[in-house]
Amino acid sequence: MPVSRPTAATYAVESPVDVTRFTEDGQVRWTEDSVERFIDLATSLATASETAVSCIYRDRMVQIDSTDTNAVTMSRQGDYDDYEYGKDVGDAGRAFFFQLSEAGEVGEAVTALVPHRDAFLLAATANTLWIVRGDPAAGGGLSNLSRNVGIVSSAAWAKVDESVVFLANDGIYMVQANGGFPVSLSEDRIPQELLDVDSAVLGYSHDENGVYIFAATDETTESWFFDLVNKGFWPMDDATPAESHLLIGPLPMAGPGSFGRVVSLHGALGLGSGEVTWRIVTGDTAEEAVENAKTAIGLYQAGSTAAAAAYAASSGTLTAGRSHMSYPRTRAVWIVIWLQAASQWAYEGIILETAQSGRWR
């Protein structure tokens, strides 16, 4: 947050994410109290060949017809075994069925059913999203929310307070409590491993304000944490330490048309976190700073560590807990902070103090 700007500024970049722990929350439907068991359970569900597509909505059993996966069937209200569709049409509690389509269309196979109290029922195919408002046998209606976004499988969603977060073929989306159109949360930052998966399980962690994602294809199973605050993805791999890179920014160093100088940098990692290397990458524009940082990461991953290091104006190391203050003295218009680690780590925050350092000509 800026203080006495433009002569000096402090940026606080914080995250509640610690992917080494999991605290059970009432909205996560697992009985296990450890992350290892939670991962095992979710992985087994994600790789299951068949998971029931069913729910209770307005005191009706709602499920997919076993012989026609295009049809959504709703039992008689209060009697989950009554599927007699030929009852009097004036009987508002009668059994009912429908497809996810408009008149003259044939609905696609249904992949997920998500009830929201008695207000509405989300019903999805792999590529479309629909909403049932009220009771369709008693004046309610079916309408389309998206022709391009669906839910990949029956458990690929989680309740987040009063909203629903789900995994589609191209990213993470949210539908608010009012049942509005789906909003993308991941935009263009979703990992390649989570695109076009066969099945998935999502679980919401209230304490960490994020969603655990366990996704499967015929060949692999992926485990990720999605940070709802910073909209970032964190890979989860407790067996094998993996190299990771995080870019923070771009951050302006002073007012428009001015250089700034990084006076000090103070970082904090979680207790027990692995060591993290920080680097400051500069640019005359925000876009240039970001591109320089991405290029540096690419060189580093290709083994050209010396070429990658040339992009860093200054660097240092963060250790578990509160690290010592560093004094980079880096002068720039824009910067990106590049964090890199070769083991598991938990990021808590970085504070930068900057000061104006002349006009940019």
| pLDDT tens figures, 269-290 | 877 778 899 999 999 888 999 9
Average pLDDT (231-259) is: 76
Taking only the tens place, the pLDDT of each residue in 190-207 is 888 899 888 888 888 887
Residue of 63, 163, 171, 179 lying closest to 110 (CA atoms): 63
Task: Compute how many other C-beta atoms are within 10 angstroms of the C-beta atom of residue 10.
Answer: 16
**What's residue 42's pLDDT?**
56
**What's residue 137's pLDDT?**
81
Mean pLDDT over all residues of the chain? 79
Q: Which residue has the higher pLDDT, 220 or 129?
A: 129
Residue of 38, 56, 87, 47 lying closest to 238 (CA atoms): 38
Q: Which residue has the higher pLDDT, 340 or 237?
A: 340
Residue of 146, 219, 133 lying closest to 181 (CA atoms): 146
For every residue of 37-77, which 3-state class applies, written as one string? HHHHHHHHHHCCCCCCCEEEECCEEEEEECCEEEEEEECEC
**What's residue 22's pLDDT?**
30
Taking only the tens place, the pLDDT of each residue in 55-82 is 889 999 999 876 778 889 999 999 988 9
**What is 35-235's CATH number?**
2.130.10.10
Rg over alpha carbons for the chain, rounded to the nearest Å, is 25
**What's residue 86's pLDDT?**
76
Kindly report the CATH class assigned to 8-19+241-359: mainly beta
Interior angle at CA 274, CA 297 and CA 185, nearest 5: 60
Taking only the tens place, the pLDDT of each residue in 30-52 is 333 435 545 555 555 555 544 56
Q: Answer yes or no: is pLDDT of 179 > 90.
A: no
List the domain boundaries for the chain.
8-19+241-359, 35-235
Q: Answer yes or no: is pLDDT of 325 > 90.
A: no
Residues 6+ apart with CB under 8 A from 51: 45, 153, 154, 155, 199
Average pLDDT (108-137) is: 92
What's the predicted TM-score (pTM) here?
0.58
**In the chain, % of residues over pLDDT 90:** 29
